[in-house]
Amino acid sequence: MEPERGRSATQRGSRGGSVTRPAVLAVDGGNSKTDVALVAEDGSLLAAVRGPTTQHQAIGLETAMDRLSGLVAEVALMAGQSGDGRVAELGSYALAGADSPSDVRLLTRALGKRAFATRDIVVNDTFAGLRAGTDRGWGVVLVCGQGVNAAAVAPNGRTARFAGLGDISGDWGGGMSVGMAGLAAAVRGSDRRGAHTVLEQLVPRHFGVASPASLVTALYRERIARVRMAELSPLVFRAAGEGDAVARQIVDRLADELAAMATALIRRLRLARLDVEVVRAGGVFQNDDAPFRERLDAGVRTVAPQARVVRSELLPVGGATLLGLDRLIAEGTAYPSAVANARLAFATWRPARA
């Protein structure tokens, strides 16, 4: 199958020269950052950029759309376009905050008004993580970044996921949860309510304060933003890797929580007897803690013995791209080889700025 006749694979850029025509505007809008990419119908990556969060529940819908407008204009200019008007055939948006049908409708309307692309698809960002990690079209994804969530797709197309709203929806996990647990362990160790831990030194040192108690005071007086506690997650993993028993308990809890999410979805979609792939996606998984991975793997296999826990080699924006290309390939307006080409392109792309 080839792109329909009469639609050139290249167009003239505003700065001169022949530029591959953008087919997909891909957006991964997470809780802490936003990645935006323009991809051609053959899967080649034209340009990509990272910016701040565009999570509408956190910063408001109009602010989110304004930020996204700036990022779209920036990536369009990088790709040799003017940055005005529609920049691609299809907008593929994988967004944190697309948590319910009403959220999806709200975001779809707002994106339609901005008209970044001729038409749009909007999904929760968990599904981009799944698509980034597998080409099978089904499986389970565990997303562990600043927060935590999970989603699954069955071979018959049925889907399931969690609300992912934090404490109010029963969630524990991600950088914030691990970081806050690390802070609590440091405080409790220093005031003798808990066991001593190296976190008593590592945690305050990270923020340049004298003690865990000093950090608590700084947080209470809002001299340090609470959201920065997610920065402590790597320290907790480091302490666990160096043999700190208290830190290991926190890391073990995270592995158990993630396994519980995966196995719940496996049961709900009746995948336990299948060789289901469970994709690990998100920044917290970018650690080399073997006991953490082994505990997670073992927990998943208690319910699905044939399951394979795999790491996504692509950032979620790559998954958003693949979701868009899947749609265009099915319609005959992108090359079948585009998925493989995009995988190669995004395997090496990393943002120039955090």
Left if phi > 0, otherwise alpha if psi is -120 to 50, otherwise beta: which for 287? beta
Q: Confirm if 3 and 9 have CB atoms less than 8 A apart.
A: yes
Burial class (CB in 10 A: 0-12, 13-18, 19+), 91: buried
Specify if 323 maps to a domain: yes
| Cβ atoms of 176 and 227 closer than 8 Å | yes
Q: Is the pLDDT of residue 16 over 70?
A: no
- CB distance 10 to 19 below 8 Å: yes
Global confidence as pTM? 0.85
Taking the C-alpha atoms of residue 340 and residue 22, their distance in angstroms, rounded to an integer, is: 17
Residue 142 included in any domain: no
Is 44 contained in some domain? yes
Instruction: Tell me how many degrees the CA angle 106-63-168 measures, rounded to the nearest 5.
Output: 60
Q: Using CA atoms, how far apart are residues 173 and 190, in angstroms rounded to an integer?
A: 24
Distances (CA, A) of 300 to 56, 145, 149, 312: 33, 19, 16, 17
Residue 183 lies in a domain: no
Please list, in sequence order, all residues whose beta carbon lies within 8 angstroms of the beta carbon of residue 262, skipping any fewer than 6 positions away: 140, 142, 150, 278, 299, 300, 307
Instruction: Answer whether residue 60 is part of any domain.
Output: yes
CATH number of the domain residue 29 falls in = 3.30.420.40
210 pLDDT above the threshold of 70: yes
How many domains are contained in the chain?
A: 1
Q: Are 31 and 12 in contact (CB under 8 A)?
A: no
Domain encompassing residue 335 = 10-131+314-348
Go through the chain and tell me how many residues it has. Answer: 354
Rg (the chain; Cα; Å): 22
Classify residue 342: in a domain, yes or no.
Answer: yes
List C-alpha distances in Å: 117 to 91, 301, 345: 5, 42, 22
Over the stretch 21-59, which tens digit does the pLDDT of each residue have? 589 999 999 888 999 999 999 999 999 999 999 999 999
User: Is 73 within a domain?
Assistant: yes
Instruction: Render pLDDT for 263-306 as a digit per residue (tens, 0 to 9).
Output: 999 999 999 999 999 999 998 999 999 999 999 999 999 999 99
The answer to whether residue 1 is domain-embedded is no
Rounded alpha-carbon distances, angstroms, from residue 58 to 52, 64, 85, 97, 227: 12, 9, 27, 9, 12
> How confident is the model over 121-126, as a mean pLDDT?
95
Express each pLDDT in 144-187 by its tens digit. Answer: 988 999 999 999 999 999 988 889 999 999 999 999 999 999 99
The β-bridge partners of 160 are: 152
Task: Provide the angle, in degrees to the nearest 10, between the axes of the packed helices 338-348 and 316-331.
Answer: 170
